[in-house]
Amino acid sequence: MMILIAPPALPASERFRSSTSCSTRKLVGAKIVAVIRAKYTTRTVADSRERTLLLAAAAVFLLACFPGSMPADEKEEKTAPLPPERDNPTVHLIKRVMPSIVALRNFQPGGPKGLVNFAAGSGAVIHPEGYILTNDHVIMAVAGNKDRPQGLALFADGSQYIFKILARLPAEDIAILKIETGKSLPFLSLGRSHDLVLGEPTLVIGNPNGLAHSVSTGIVSGLQRSTSTSTSYLPAVVQTTAPISGGSSGSPLINALGQIIGVITSQHDNGQNLNFAITIDHIRNRFPRLINAENLNGFLLGLEIDMLEPGARITRVAPDSPAARENLQPGDLITGAGGRKITSGFEFHLALMNRAAGEELPISILRGKKSEAVLLKLAPLLSTIALEKPPGKPGGLDLDVYEGNWSQLPDFDKLKAAGNGKAGSLSIPPGLAGKDYFGLRFRGFVRIPKDGIYTFYAGSDDGSSILIGDRILVQNDGLHAYSEASGTIKLKAGFYPFTANFFEAAGEEKFTVSWEGPGIKKQALPAAALFTKKTTGKKNKPPVVPCQPAGK
Ligand SMILES: [Ca+2]
């Protein structure tokens, strides 16, 4: 059994002593540097110290190597109850939330043979079944190792579990991990961040420099900030004075009610206690894309849920979808799905995981005061729109150019194109470089070479989107500096109707589209994978891309 000796004054040279075959090694520091948009720099706050230790063989051994609590002979003696002056609301709050906080230790590839690095991060349990919310950059380095243990989640009571990475949204720097504990876990509820006020108290519990379950307090010290890290642009962050350090990434930012109001993600590189957390409202709104059950499992349900308000209330039902066929309506409150009780939009999306096209999903709804049971038959997502043979020649897409001053992508169908032609690459044509107030729509087909999971990326200044058939896969809309968004989807080999939209208002402009998939490293979507439909002889008339609803 290995004992962790952590002299507080020497965190950088924290050592491991082992009575088995673990060797002692000096720690290696590594910092991830990032840039904040407002012309100053921040750094992400995971991984500030990577440790190297001997990988003895198996995760079981590693589990034994990381005791989380004090040795038994150092445990505190029983003491008299604290006087109320010391046992204040903050102390109460910390006691209450502590059992839901995990220190994360990720096994990282690289280094000499037979050794494994690990890096520190933090997270919070947000559901009794063991779902953990953290930053993507905390687990990014181990995300490819699906077959190997990816890391450990360590609780304050010393218990620890190997986690799996369940869902990632790198462009938003959020991720969900899952641990299997066989019991119901204490969890933190998700708060709201739309009504945060300057000066309200904040609490952070995390794993700075690998010092598990360190506590710090502060206040909300800034609102409506934006920042970017090396991998993501974060438009909605809150600033706090609660001290953090490397390894704090993924820590919940907690309000006085014990609710999560943000996820600690970065700090100002030049300054003290200028710390940033992604707001919980932003995370709530991104949650459907994070879980992404329909795209990843290839089924269509066809409804959207309000992710901000309590409960799981339907806000939109897609025409011709299974939800529409069963007459579900906006305003219906979903109270159960697949045999699980549903009390939030978050739980509803989790209930969709591991479903497949053709399955039936029983759900319970409350419409007004009347409850109903509905059986939804999950339809195939996109199989009806794929073509087996090339629709035309490879080498690019049809391009329509529009003129206008927009703050969001317009409905190009309602506008008359100012020009059109063929485009070999998905980028701004040279003739439009430096110009303002225009829109581009690229249409045609993309060839998916083999069955698998594909991720498409749209990077743009200003807004952009990517559609497969009529399904919006990547949404990167709005006026903003260059930033990239992605969408991941499971596709069978074939040729799919493909649309990429872009608009530029003023200032700088840039547009890139890339993809990655089985055997394809992230790269610009090549002209050889892009097809236009055979023209029918009418000159200058762009072919109409079929956009029939998926799942019929
Ligand atoms: Ca611009």
Give the pLDDT score at 147.
63
Q: Give the separation between CA 404 and CA 384, rounded to whole angstroms.
A: 35
Give the pLDDT score at 463.
96
Give the pLDDT score at 336.
97
Within a 10 A sphere around the Cβ of 216, how many other Cβ atoms?
20
Q: Render the burial of 381-393: b for 16+ CB within 10 Å, e for the rest.
A: bbeebbeeeebee
- What residues contact 324, with CB distance under 8 A and at least 6 apart? 302, 317, 318
What pLDDT band is residue 548 in, cutting at 50, 70 and 90? very low
Least confident of 387-391, 400-404, 426-430: 387-391
Give the Å distances, CA to CA, from 184 to 129, 153, 312, 373: 6, 16, 22, 27
Least confident of 205-214, 351-360, 377-386: 377-386
**Token duo for residue 345:** 């939009």
What pTM does this model have?
Answer: 0.79
The string of pLDDT tens digits covering residues 11-47 is 222 222 222 222 222 222 223 222 222 223 356 665 4
Stretch(es) of the chain classified as CATH 2.60.120.1560: 385-531
Which conformational region is residue 97 in: left (phi greater than 0), alpha (psi within -120 to 50 degrees), or beta? alpha
Rounded to the nearest whole angstrom, what is the distance from the C-alpha of residue 481 to the centroid of ligand 1?
Answer: 6
Q: Following CA atoms 189, 195, 200, 205 in sequence, which dihedral angle do they give, to the nearest 10 degrees?
A: 30
Rounded to the nearest whole angstrom, what is the distance from the C-alpha of residue 479 to the centroid of ligand 1?
Answer: 7
225 or 29: which leads in pLDDT: 225
Q: Give the separation between CA 250 and CA 124, rounded to whole angstroms.
A: 8
The residue type at 393: K
Residue % of the chain over a pLDDT of 70: 80
DSSP letter at 128?
Answer: T
Hey, what CATH class is 1-8+26-69+90-290 in? Answer: mainly beta
Rounded to the nearest whole angstrom, what is the distance from the C-alpha of residue 459 to the centroid of ligand 1?
Answer: 12
Alpha helices in 104-181 (DSSP H): 136-139
Rounded to the nearest whole angstrom, what is the distance from the C-alpha of residue 432 to the centroid of ligand 1?
Answer: 13
Give the pLDDT score at 451.
93
Hey, what CATH class is 385-531 in? Answer: mainly beta
35 - beta bridge partners?
41
CATH of 292-380, one of 3.40.228.10, 1.10.3720.10, 2.30.42.10, 2.40.160.40: 2.30.42.10
Rounded to the nearest whole angstrom, what is the distance from the C-alpha of residue 307 to the centroid of ligand 1?
Answer: 30
Stretch(es) of the chain classified as CATH 2.40.10.120: 1-8+26-69+90-290
Contact call for residues 260 and 125 (beta carbons, < 8 A): no
Give the pLDDT score at 149.
65
Least confident of 39-53, 330-344, 528-542: 39-53
The string of pLDDT tens digits covering residues 103-162 is 999 877 666 776 667 789 999 999 999 999 999 999 988 887 666 667 999 999 999 999
Rounded to the nearest whole angstrom, what is the distance from the C-alpha of residue 466 to the centroid of ligand 1?
Answer: 18
Q: Give the separation between CA 507 and CA 504, rounded to whole angstroms.
A: 8
Q: Is the pLDDT of residue 188 over 50?
A: yes
Give the pLDDT score at 59.
38
Rounded to the nearest whole angstrom, what is the distance from the C-alpha of residue 280 to the centroid of ligand 1?
Answer: 28
Rounded to the nearest whole angstrom, what is the distance from the C-alpha of residue 408 to the centroid of ligand 1?
Answer: 12
**Closest by CA position to 382, among listed 476, 446, 287, 327:** 446
Q: Give the separation between CA 221 and CA 201, rounded to whole angstroms.
A: 10
What is the sign of the dihedral through the CA atoms of 417, 419, 422 and 423?
negative
What pLDDT band is residue 205 in, cutting at 50, 70 and 90? very high
Give the pLDDT score at 145.
67
Contact call for residues 278 and 262 (beta carbons, < 8 A): yes
Q: Is the pLDDT of residue 372 over 70?
A: yes
**Closest by CA position to 178, among listed 144, 132, 147, 126:** 132
Q: Is the pLDDT of residue 544 over 60?
A: no
Mean pLDDT of 291-295: 93
The string of pLDDT tens digits covering residues 258-286 is 999 999 999 888 888 899 999 999 999 99
Q: What is the mean pLDDT of the chain?
A: 83
Stretch(es) of the chain classified as CATH 2.30.42.10: 292-380
Within a 10 A sphere around the Cβ of 245, how many other Cβ atoms?
21
The string of pLDDT tens digits covering residues 449-473 is 999 999 999 999 999 999 999 889 9
Rounded to the nearest whole angstrom, what is the distance from the C-alpha of residue 346 to the centroid of ligand 1?
Answer: 34
The string of pLDDT tens digits covering residues 423-445 is 999 999 999 999 999 999 999 99
Rounded to the nearest whole angstrom, what is the distance from the C-alpha of residue 328 to the centroid of ligand 1?
Answer: 40
Q: Give the separation between CA 190 and CA 515, rounded to whole angstroms.
A: 33
Give the pLDDT score at 109.
63
Rounded to the nearest whole angstrom, what is the distance from the C-alpha of residue 501 to the centroid of ligand 1?
Answer: 15
549 or 382: which leads in pLDDT: 382
What pLDDT band is residue 69 in, cutting at 50, 70 and 90? very low
Q: Give the separation between CA 181 and CA 26, rounded to whole angstroms.
A: 33
Q: Give the separation between CA 514 and CA 523, rounded to whole angstroms.
A: 5
Rounded to the nearest whole angstrom, what is the distance from the C-alpha of residue 434 to the centroid of ligand 1?
Answer: 10
Give the pLDDT score at 144.
72
